[in-house]
């Protein structure tokens, strides 16, 4: 049975490798101006197909390293472990992010619409900006486009753009909270090259402009994953995330996503 299961995934991987370029080429040839849904569905297909993504990435563990620029100009190194269990949409997801720095270790957990932190086994309420940043890692990211149907998001095709000889489709995804994220998708490969979004500045005035770029793509269990992502704030690099290992479709202990007394 296990042998048959593996053969199925190998077959899916081979089919995706063979047919994805043809699908994109056909779309580019037949539709000078593709629809928003055509672009989105092409991306979903390239990253592993909706059915496979739902099966493989229903849960998982991702480990890696984050390099951050602090407000006082220092560089902060963090190792992280992210566990997740997907619900029927992102509101029903369970997410736990464990972070380890030389001076401290702590966790942030999202479950049942709530966010809390854990330090040395004690539960605390994180600052609002920490909670917002935690949610942005999922809701302003690649998954927000891959799961646009589940999340009941709205798609808008903005147009096409060419930068450094790379032709891109530009797609806006607006979530149920009216937060818009703009995706730049290679019209040649169907991969997301970067995304952009804006948020109000804490001090008021003009919005802060965020840009996140994705690099070093590779396949993990027949699904496409970027191993490096770089986040910019107002054109200044503030964070780099490097994924070291990812394992999907594994059993997850639900106690990891529970607070004491829940």
- Specify the DSSP class assigned to residue 218: E
**What is the overall mean pLDDT for the chain?**
89
Q: Which stretch of 16-20, 124-128, 165-169, 224-228 has the lowest confidence by average pLDDT? A: 16-20
pLDDT tens for 174-204 read 999 999 999 999 999 999 999 999 999 877 7
pLDDT over threshold 70, residue 14: no
Closest CA to 81 of 70, 66, 68: 66
Residues 6+ apart with CB under 8 A from 115: 108, 109, 126, 131, 134, 135
Phi, psi of 152 (to 5 degrees): 60, 40
pLDDT over threshold 50, residue 7: no
Q: Which CATH superfamily is domain 2-255 in?
A: Lipoprotein localisation LolA/LolB/LppX (2.50.20.10)
pLDDT tens for 78-132 read 999 999 999 999 999 999 999 999 889 999 999 989 999 999 889 999 999 899 9
- Specify the DSSP class assigned to residue 7: H
pLDDT over threshold 80, residue 2: no
Entry pTM: 0.88
Per-residue pLDDT at 28: 53
Phi, psi of 179 (to 5 degrees): -85, 125
């Amino acid at each position: 049975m296990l042998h048959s299961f593996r053969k199925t995934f190998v077959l899916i991987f081979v089919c995706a490798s063979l047919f994805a370029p043809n699908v994109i080429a056909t779309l580019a040839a037949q539709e000078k101006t593709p629809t928003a849904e055509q672009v989105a569905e092409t991306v979903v297909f390239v990253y592993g197909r909706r059915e496979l993504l739902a099966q493989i990435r229903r849960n998982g563990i991702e480990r890696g390293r984050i390099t951050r620029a602090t407000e006082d100009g220092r560089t902060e190194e963090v190792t992280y472990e992210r566990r997740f269990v997907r619900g029927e949409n992102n509101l029903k997801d369970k997410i736990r992010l464990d972070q380890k720095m030389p001076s401290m270790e702590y966790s942030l957990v999202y479950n049942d619409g709530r966010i809390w932190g854990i330090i040395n086994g004690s539960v605390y309420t994180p600052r609002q900006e920490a909670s917002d940043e935690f949610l942005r890692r999922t809701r302003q990211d690649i998954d927000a486009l891959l799961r646009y149907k589940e999340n009941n998001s709205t798609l808008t095709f903005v147009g096409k753009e060419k930068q450094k000889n790379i032709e891109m489709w530009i797609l806006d995804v607006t979530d149920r909270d009216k937060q818009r994220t703009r995706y730049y998708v290679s019209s040649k490969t169907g991969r997301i090259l970067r995304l952009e979004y804006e948020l109000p500045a804490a001090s008021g005035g003009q919005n802060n402009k965020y840009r996140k770029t994705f690099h070093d793509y590779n396949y993990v269990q027949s699904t496409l994953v970027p191993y490096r992502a770089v986040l910019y704030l107002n054109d200044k690099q503030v964070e780099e995330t490097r994924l070291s290992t990812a394992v999907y479709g594994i059993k997850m202990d639900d106690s990891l996503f529970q607070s004491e007394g829940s």
